[in-house]
DNA sequence: ACAAATAGTTAGGCTTACCTAATAAAGATA
DNA sequence: TATCTTTATTAGGTAAGCCTAACTATTTGT
């Protein structure tokens, strides 16, 4: 099985490959803000599990298996970013959240998210869904930060406590 | 700082408290499918960090700090479940995904999700958003598995739904 | 009240990450 | 070519979790 960490390394390798055209252990360390020995260790692990091929002082390349997994992770990441932006999360936060969430979403949730994103993108211009939603978000944020805070909380916890 | 694991234990304690009225280490072990020594260790840690008060053979109660955190986690969990169900994820999967995702969503994303869920719940009956979306999901699943590509725009976003 | 059942802890080890310090290998340059 | 810089590895240690086996302490039942 692959761990969350292995996935992070694979994704980083993928990104470096597409940004610089080659991948060195040093660059991975920089990107992930981790020591070089840590990278050495993970490279060894990923090699042993046949996700990558590695030559000291040379570079890293994906095996078919590794490429497939890296693409899959990338796909989840992009989907999450796209979704988060639709619901109004900033680009920056969307990126960092996607990095964390991408390891945990089940296939069913991926499918549903994909459906949602597609559905929204198919809305006719005339629907103004996004504008309406954005406006609603802005408004509810304002209200929340001022006087209606209490109201909202009661509503929320009232619902929740019944379930328990 | 609290780790993902500490959060899981706190959430479990919260759930047990509200389901049975008291919390024993043994029950935590069962619920989390973990050995009793593991629970002992975590209880010690949570006590040291003042999230709970614990007495051997007695029970576990939250401190104010612990209660606050547990509620916060619970809040994130419920919100995620609610959202996932809206986009068509099954109850079961929504629960398990929420358990994993709840540790990683940023405050901004929480806010946006909350906005989205509220927004959807405020849609007028006439919009039929959910029905349309559900149907779209079902169809697109079929399409995907039979490798066809077709445009549903017209069918699902005819004039009567412009208000969405 | 005392033995059995239940609950909890300690001891000792495993795994996956991380780190720093020291070392080795390769590449670049004088 | 010899040395210096860069790159990578090894050695040795920490921390958070998990486990089993063995032990202790409490509660319960007769």
So what's the pLDDT on residue A147?
46
CATH number for the domain spanning A115: value is 1.10.60.10
In a domain, A164, yes or no: no
- Residue A15 and residue A51 in one domain: yes
Interval B2-23 mean pLDDT: 97
- Residue A17 and residue A39 in one domain: yes
In a domain, A148, yes or no: no
Instruction: Domain of residue A41: give its range.
Output: 4-69
B156's tokens: 């699902």
Q: How many angstroms separate the CA atoms of B78 and A156, rounded? A: 10
Q: Domain count for chain B, please give it.
A: 3
Model confidence over A62-116: pLDDT tens digits? 999 999 999 999 999 999 999 999 999 999 999 999 999 999 999 999 999 999 9
Is pLDDT of B153 > 50? no
In a domain, A163, yes or no: no
At B144, the pLDDT band (50, 70, 90 cuts) reads low
A4-9's contacts with Cβ under 8 Å and 24+ in sequence apart are A4/A103, A5/A42, A6/A42, A6/A45, A6/A46, A6/A49, A6/A51, A7/A69, A7/A73, A7/A102, A7/A103, A8/A32, A8/A99, A8/A103, A9/A39, A9/A42, A9/A43, A9/A46
Give CA angle at A84 (B1, B67), nearest 5°.
Answer: 30
In a domain, A135, yes or no: no
- Residue B8 and residue B63 in one domain: yes
Q: How far is the CA of B48 from the C1' of D18 (A)?
A: 20
So what's the pLDDT on residue B143?
74
Q: Which of residues 13-72 of B touch strand D (CB under 7 A)?
A: 32-35, 37-38, 41-42, 45, 56-58
- The Cβ of residue A51 has, within 10 Å, a number of other Cβ atoms equal to 25
CATH number for the domain spanning B97: value is 1.10.60
| Chain A residues lying within 8 Å of B116, measured CB to CB | 87-88, 133
B138-147's contacts with Cβ under 8 Å and 24+ in sequence apart are B140/A115, B140/A118, B141/A111, B141/A115
So what's the pLDDT on residue A22?
94
B51's tokens: 């999230």
Is pLDDT of B164 > 60? no
Interval B53-64 mean pLDDT: 95
- Residue A65 and residue A84 in one domain: no
A160's tokens: 């929740």
In a domain, A152, yes or no: no
């Amino acid at each position: 099985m692959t761990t969350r960490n292995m996935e992070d390394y694979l994704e980083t390798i993928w990104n470096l490959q597409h940004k610089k055209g080659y991948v060195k252990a040093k660059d991975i360390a920089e990107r992930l803000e981790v020591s070089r020995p840590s990278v050495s260790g993970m490279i060894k692990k990923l090699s042993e599990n046949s996700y990558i091929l590695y030559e000291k002082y040379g570079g890293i390349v994906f095996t078919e298996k590794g490429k497939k997994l890296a693409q899959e992770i990338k796909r989840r990441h992009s989907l999450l970013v796209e979704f988060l932006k639709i619901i109004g999360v900033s680009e920056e936060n969307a990126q960092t959240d996607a990095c964390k969430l991408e390891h945990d979403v089940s296939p069913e949730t991926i499918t549903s998210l994909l459906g949602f994103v597609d559905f929204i993108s198919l809305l006719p211009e005339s629907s103004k869904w996004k504008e309406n939603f954005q406006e609603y978000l802005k408004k509810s944020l304002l209200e929340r930060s001022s006087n209606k805070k209490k109201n909202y909380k009661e509503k929320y916890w009232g619902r929740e406590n019944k379930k328990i």
